[in-house]
Amino acid sequence: MRDVVAFGTAWQDERDFLRRLCREYTRGDAAFAVDEQHQGDRFERLSPLQFASRLKRLREIELEQQMFSDLENGFIASRAEFEPHDMDWTQEVAQNASA
């Protein structure tokens, strides 16, 4: 069992781990399951498609935060000027989930 904290101090490593995990999970024959913890001790078992969707949502939040930071720091003057700071680490995830 491994817990992953989204946007924690080790986020770069965690997102690489999540990408690799999703690649294996979406193949359909994984010998493990992915559970998402909600408030308290409630867990939800995620299908491979749900897991890939959650990762895409994390990427959306990541991009929003990058954009807000750029706006706040004056690097850009509008949302239209925003360009992601890094490559889309979920691109492969989306391809595997739709296959």
Q: What are the tens digits of pLDDT across the range 5-45?
A: 899 999 999 999 999 999 999 888 889 999 998 888 899 99
What mean pLDDT comes out for the span 70-77? 97
Across 38-83, the runs of DSSP E, i.e. the strands, are 43-46
What is the Cα–Cα distance from 67 to 12, expressed in whole angstroms? Answer: 18
Taking CA atoms, 32 is separated from 18, 42, 82, 85, in Å, by: 14, 19, 38, 33
Q: What sign does the dihedral 58-53-4-19 (CA atoms) show?
A: negative
What is the Cα–Cα distance from 93 to 3, expressed in whole angstroms? Answer: 19
Residue 11 has a pLDDT of 92
